[in-house]
């Protein structure tokens, strides 16, 4: 069954497409080369409502739904994956976590300007020794009167340098998932420092940094949710985050397919365009099938979430397949370009580099397979548990 999007969703997709190809596409290569953060473009995206797509109208958002968000994010990624990952983290995880767990004061102070694009959000979970296993985190938050003292280092934080607010996960108890608490960190807090800026393979216009905390004094009023709810805060945003990364990967793969088609039509060998050779045509056909399969998985996950149904397995399937599709399709795009594809003269080289990280973002694809398998086998686990209880 084909996936039908509404006229309103089509309008949002078209708006994002026009903005991305006019505003982002021409700047993407230079921004990638110069590691230039897209601040001016993000401001315009805020004005268009693209940075508050999932936020309710109560707090100045557009409340457009997950499907429209996925469509728009793919269009942004088609032109600039760096800008798209900033949009994804900001919308899917940061705004969503604040709306679900924030106090009214926190929502007015942070969520409202985030929805308008006046503040960009970052999410600080990963540490040097804690990635796929967040319960291994060592960053601590010790109660000190009406404040908490934060000590530790967070690693690979998207928008950590340029973000206006960071959702930080830290330990308020020595062990266990219930010993983790979330805090809202702003750059003005004493003891907060931006550390190493990563020199990355791709998505170079998006800053990825270390965040260092040395007795960083955070008011207790900056706690997001209750003490011990940090793991819940982190997990609650994973489905949306994975749909976001899947949408990002879909945009990259679609762009690579279009560039490959364009090049194959104009490149001539043996007296005719290479698009007329069966070997190239079959490569393009495989790429198109791959992109379309990913598109349907992504939209299905987005629609399932929008209906309010559990979408954990669907989100993991979409993220896993779309990210691996992006790797395959960008690689095939380079192959069709031949030697030119290996140069920075053509955008497929950048697409290839940008695609690689999508298999790692929001949980590696090995973790996604664990999530999917657990969902497949949950009935077996339930039966074994009931048998043991009997």
Q: At 280, phi and psi to the nearest 5? A: -70, -40
- Residue 296: other Cβ atoms inside 10 A: 15
Q: At 210, phi and psi to the nearest 5? A: -85, 145
The HSE-up count of residue 362 (CA atoms within 13 Å, CB side) is 31
Annotated catalytic residue, options 75, 229, 349, 362? 362
Evaluate whether 301 touches 312 at the Cβ level (below 8 Å): no
Measured CA to CA, the distance from residue 28 to residue 31 in angstroms comes to 5
Q: At 268, phi and psi to the nearest 5? A: -110, 135
Handedness of CA 360, 365, 366, 370 (dihedral sign): positive
Q: What residue has token string 């990280």?
A: 357
- Is 362 in the active site? yes
Return the structure tokens found at 29. 């290569």
Instruction: Give the DSSP letter of residue 274.
Output: G
Return the structure tokens found at 155. 């690693």
- State the burial class of residue 175 (Cβ atoms within 10 Å of its Cβ: 0-12, 13-18, 19+): exposed
Instruction: Give the DSSP letter of residue 220.
Output: G
Return the structure tokens found at 17. 């497409």
Return the structure tokens found at 197. 């800026």
| Coil, strand or helix at 348 | helix
Q: Which residues does the annotation mark as catalytic?
A: 362
């Amino acid at each position: 069954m084909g996936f039908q999007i509404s006229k309103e969703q089509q309008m949002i997709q078209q708006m994002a497409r026009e903005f991305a190809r006019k505003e982002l596409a021409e700047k993407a290569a230079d921004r990638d080369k110069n590691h230039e953060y897209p601040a001016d473009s993000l401001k315009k995206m805020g004005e268009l409502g693209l940075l508050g797509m999932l936020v309710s109208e109560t707090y100045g958002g557009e409340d457009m739904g997950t499907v429209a968000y996925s469509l728009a994010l793919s269009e942004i990624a088609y032109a600039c994956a760096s800008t798209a990952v900033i949009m994804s983290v900001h919308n899917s995880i940061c705004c969503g976590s604040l709306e679900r767990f924030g106090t009214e004061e926190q929502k007015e102070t942070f969520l409202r300007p985030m929805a308008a694009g006046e503040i960009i959000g970052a999410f600080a979970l990963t540490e040097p020794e804690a990635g796929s296993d967040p319960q291994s985190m060592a960053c601590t938050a010790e109660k000190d009167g009406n404040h908490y003292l934060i000590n530790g280092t967070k690693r690979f934080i998207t928008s950590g340098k340029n973000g206006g607010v960071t959702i930080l996960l830290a330990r308020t108890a020595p062990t266990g998932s219930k010993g983790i608490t979330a805090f809202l960190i702003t750059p003005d807090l004493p003891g907060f420092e931006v550390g190493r800026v990563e020199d990355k393979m791709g998505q170079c216009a998006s800053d990825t940094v270390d965040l260092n905390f040395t007795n960083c004094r955070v008011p207790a009023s900056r706690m997001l949710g209750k003490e011990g709810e940090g793991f819940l805060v982190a997990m609650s945003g994973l489905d949306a985050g994975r749909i976001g990364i899947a949408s990002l990967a879909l945009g990259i793969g679609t762009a690579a397919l279009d560039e490959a088609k364009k090049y194959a039509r104009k490149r001539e060998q043996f007296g005719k365009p290479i698009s007329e050779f069966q070997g190239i045509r079959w490569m393009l056909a495989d790429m198109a099938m791959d992109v379309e399969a990913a598109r349907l998985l992504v939209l299905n996950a987005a629609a399932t979430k929008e209906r309010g149904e559990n979408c954990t397995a669907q989100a993991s399937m979409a993220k896993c397949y779309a990210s691996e599709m992006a790797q395959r399709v960008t690689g095939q795009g380079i192959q069709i370009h031949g030697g030119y594809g290996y140069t920075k003269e053509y955008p497929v080289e950048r697409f290839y580099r940008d695609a690689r990280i999508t298999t790692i973002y929001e949980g590696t694809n090995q973790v996604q397979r664990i999530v999917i398998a657990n969902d497949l086998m949950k009935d077996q686990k339930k039966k074994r548990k009931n048998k043991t209880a009997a």
